[in-house]
Chain A
């Protein structure tokens, strides 16, 4: 798998970077090993595992045809477009949720959720008069249901928003 090679390399780089970061931690005051001791072991193991993953993927995919370089490669632009099309709904949902989190940061749970729920359902669901009714009912139910259960029943606070 081509992706495994890239993931392996990423893990090596990440492991090396974090090892360097661990080296900047102050050493312990007593006993063997300070705060950096165990993290360093983990980062070395992670980088090693990344190397094994990348090497495994490299030797697995080097078929004679590949080695000869005769395989037609897609341009990076075409490959990116293919990924975007295949994961359109996931990317859109992720972005809408991202927007929801920002909205919640400023406006709090109630307003942000009252906006997020219909938008997300509208993005994901069918756009018919019947579904509009469902969207309205579900939005009110979820916004108020979660508010009552958390704030009133369990006494757990919900984000109130930085603007208020």
Chain B
């Protein structure tokens, strides 16, 4: 392992990947700290820039965006009271009150250091768990792979929105989009409707940029409020010794939150938006002074930020080991690998150990960049939150169009961007989650190839349920579909109990 890690260091510690990792982290923090702009959007917009790069350089830039974005959300959360990304919602609960009490610098430093430690803990998990997981997956046949992908799709559909059926429909729409184009097994063009450009199907990138960037920009237009007046102008100074002492006084909180982040991140669909709230909740439950939460105490900031950056390592683990992404962001990274001609999956670590270990190293290094940038460049990022939307939106729209075109130098892709941008906007408007759709687009061909390969190998559907690992994944898929019903049942019971208690008192 040490040799392989050294191989990864050799890949990353070169001027170009390091610069790109640094710039990616800067871009991530910017995207993170701007309310309304998501990490997924940032990674999607960076992807077209990576075409002219090697796969390691491209992945470095994207890892920078991921790490920077996960941590950057706290800036606007703490200073404005508006979380920059859904991963920083719980940071606002204590970060903003602490900021209002005149300690915005300390709040930001606490969040940044907690993000750093959470991320580093998850980097170790990523490094130590990916190889054995990939090793195990090497024994999978097409039956197990199909069932695994099916499980991934069902769990993301059931976890990423309030309505199970809307999550499923979103995932199915992604699968529908993936059926357009050349059949992956026998090479027949499908659903081209006589349009030559349609014979190749929809390119992944314009679909992605349309769903996550274009539609997001349109949504931002709906609520064009200026954030300038809300920024807290306080003392951004802090004492590193004091901040570190505060964090190390809470080793259980830090470790528990980081592990929650890793675990939630590894589950497909359940990303940072769930991890930070869950770990905050656990911190409240495990605290000796739960009543102080929400008043501006460090415990809440540490819990939320450690968990949200730990998600990064968690979600990259199944992506690198199995080729099954844990979130929309890692799905994009997987798409980037495919665009570079590399097929993700358990063989990745065998065929490209330099790349996989390079990703591990880049993930570590990005956290150091993030730490330095957020602690010492905070004033610059605060200023960025004041850039008016009328300047940002047109600039990013141009980048969307150019990025979509650049995949195949095909104008048709800009129309694809427009169609999927409109579709994404309507979907969010009518409360359909977007993450299942993009996973459907990415995992659709993988599911189809493995399903048909399984049937071609042995024309017996029963093998999907008689092979133990395949059966286990299918059972998990069914459980994940049943989980929302169980959750609703529990909520009803709780409400009933509360009503009875209220009547009694």
Does B188 sit within 8 A of A, measured CB to CB?
yes
Closest CB in chain A relative to B37 CB, distance in Å: 16
Chain A residues 44-103 with CB under 8 Å of chain B are: 45-46, 49-50, 52-53, 56, 87, 89-90, 93-94, 97-98, 100-101
**B188 contact from A26, A43, A45, A150, Cβ within 8 A:** A26
Identity of the chain A residue whose Cβ is nearest the Cβ of B191 in the assembled complex:
A21
Contact A138-B173, Cβ < 8 Å, known A39-B190, A156-B51? no
Give the chain A neighbours of B422 by CB distance below 8 A. 94
**A109 contact from B172, B388, B402, Cβ within 8 A:** B402
Does A158 sit within 8 A of B, measured CB to CB?
yes
**A31 contact from B48, B168, B425, B455, Cβ within 8 A:** B455
Does B459 sit within 8 A of A, measured CB to CB?
yes
A90 to B222, CA, bound (A): 7
Pairwise interchain contact B169-A11, C-beta atoms closer than 8 A: yes
**B402 contact from A124, A126, A150, Cβ within 8 A:** A150
Contact A154-B176, Cβ < 8 Å, known A138-B395, A142-B398? no
A138 to B459, CA, bound (A): 61
Number of interface residues of A (CB under 8 A): 64
A contact set with B: CB distance below 8 Å: 1, 3-4, 7, 11, 18, 21-22, 25-26, 28-35, 37-39, 42-43, 45-46, 49-50, 52-53, 56, 87, 89-90, 93-94, 97-98, 100-101, 104-105, 109, 113, 116-117, 120-121, 124-126, 131, 134, 138, 142, 146, 149-150, 153-159
Does B140 sit within 8 A of A, measured CB to CB?
no
DSSP class of A's interface residues: helix, strand, loop or mixed?
helix
Segment from B1-9, B97-105, B120-128, B404-412 that makes contact with A = B404-412
- Can you give 22 A-B contacts (C-beta < 8 A)? A4-B430, A18-B176, A28-B186, A30-B456, A31-B455, A35-B185, A35-B190, A39-B190, A87-B222, A89-B222, A90-B222, A93-B393, A97-B418, A101-B401, A104-B414, A121-B390, A121-B391, A124-B390, A131-B390, A138-B391, A146-B398, A156-B406
Does B183 sit within 8 A of A, measured CB to CB?
yes
Chain B residues 35-90 with CB under 8 Å of chain A are: 48-49, 51-53
Does B347 sit within 8 A of A, measured CB to CB?
no
Interface range for B: 35 or more
Identity of the chain B residue whose Cβ is nearest the Cβ of A11 in the assembled complex:
B169
Give the chain B neighbours of A97 by CB distance below 8 A. 397, 401, 418
Give the chain A neighbours of B418 by CB distance below 8 A. 97-98, 101
Pairwise interchain contact B183-A149, C-beta atoms closer than 8 A: no
Give the chain B neighbours of A126 by CB distance below 8 A. 390
B contact set with A: CB distance below 8 Å: 48-49, 51-53, 165-166, 168-169, 172-173, 175-176, 179, 183, 185-186, 188, 190-191, 217-218, 221-222, 224, 388-391, 393-395, 397-399, 401-402, 405-406, 409, 411, 414-415, 418, 422, 425, 430, 447-448, 451-452, 455-456, 459
Pairwise interchain contact B169-A32, C-beta atoms closer than 8 A: no
**B176 contact from A42, A94, A155, Cβ within 8 A:** A42
A146 to B395, CA, bound (A): 10
Closest CB in chain B relative to A56 CB, distance in Å: 7
Pairwise interchain contact B452-A146, C-beta atoms closer than 8 A: no
A110 to B235, CA, bound (A): 44
A21 to B241, CA, bound (A): 67
Closest CB in chain A relative to B187 CB, distance in Å: 9
Closest CB in chain B relative to A121 CB, distance in Å: 5
Closest CB in chain A relative to B496 CB, distance in Å: 20
Closest 4 CB pairs of A and B: A125-B390, A154-B52, A31-B456, A120-B394
